[in-house]
Amino acid sequence: MRFIQTIFRGIGQVMFQNNIYSGILFLGGIFYNSLLFGLAALLGTIVSTTSAQILRYPKEDIQNGLYGFNGTLTGIAVLYFFEVNLITILALIVGAILSTVVMTLLKRIIPPFTAPFVMVTWFVVYSLFFVFNFPLISSSGPIRNTIDILFASSNSFGQVMLQENIITGLFFLLGILVNNKLMAIYAIYAAVLGSLTGWLFSQPFSTINAGLMGYNAILCAIALTGKRGQDFLWITIAIVFSTLLNIGLGMMGVITLTAPFVVVTWVIWKLKQKNQTKIRLV
């Protein structure tokens, strides 16, 4: 039973929710959109968590799901980009294990967030594509000529775990809400502002409505949530800059994943540290 709870916490930690019910809602949302992605998320979480146990990483961190969420994302990503076969399943397992190892290495120098997922997924995807010539799955959504903020915002929540489904997005929002109302409010703000930022910078309506301009913004907002006025300012800055970085990386042909969230949040985390140090010196 405790292991099952750890798995749900791991899935919940994708959006910083150390809550079993959040994890259940997130997983339910994934299964609603895709049985395959739901199974991939479960397998990735189980493998990464079990790896941490075998390697005897801190027990409390494991139980809090901190060695599960990067495996969750890696598991989904591998089968999002490639067809299911023996090689891709093995790549998923190896990727989930590597995400745990990278998590430990990064923890020594900086808050890892979803950086292990990004690094490992880049390695796996580009290796399978360029070295082994595995074709990427092509995806195309409906072409729209207008922006639909409600549609875009809900999809933004889903896209945190590579799910383009408005109902899935609502599952994810509810998963945040049951654990932390302030995070949920900031996440909604981020989804809307991120989508509008994409619109201001002339991104295609289909891209915005698919939620691709809002998901990094949501993660930034949740990670930086606080009750002070300056927290709102930092969050707003993070939303705008993560969206711009998302656009920039996309123009360069990079698979963005959650890299914009990681980079921008790292920068703001460092800036806040320096600011706090100056205040103490004064």
Q: Is the pLDDT of residue 147 over 80?
A: yes
Please tell me the least confidently modeled range out of 88-92, 142-146, 226-230: 142-146
The model's pTM is: 0.96
Whose structure tokens read 């968590």? 49
Asked whether the beta carbons of 184 and 177 are under 8 A apart, the reply is yes
Domain 2-131 listed as CATH 2.60.40.10: no
Q: Please provide the average confidence, as pLDDT, over all residues in the chain.
A: 95
Asked whether the beta carbons of 62 and 20 are under 8 A apart, the reply is no
1 pLDDT band (50/70/90 cuts)? confident
The 10s digit of each residue's pLDDT in 250-265 is: 999 999 999 999 999 9
Domains 2-131 and 149-281 share a fold: yes
Asked whether the beta carbons of 30 and 44 are under 8 A apart, the reply is no
Query: Would you say how long the chain is, in residues?
Result: 282
Asked whether the beta carbons of 117 and 219 are under 8 A apart, the reply is no
What is the pLDDT, as a whole number, of residue 143? Answer: 64
Whose structure tokens read 């093995």? 90
Could you please state the CATH topology (level 3) that the domain comprising 149-281 is classified under: Ammonium transporter fold (1.10.3430)
Asked whether the beta carbons of 207 and 241 are under 8 A apart, the reply is no
- Write down the domain spans for the chain: 2-131, 149-281
Asked whether the beta carbons of 175 and 21 are under 8 A apart, the reply is yes
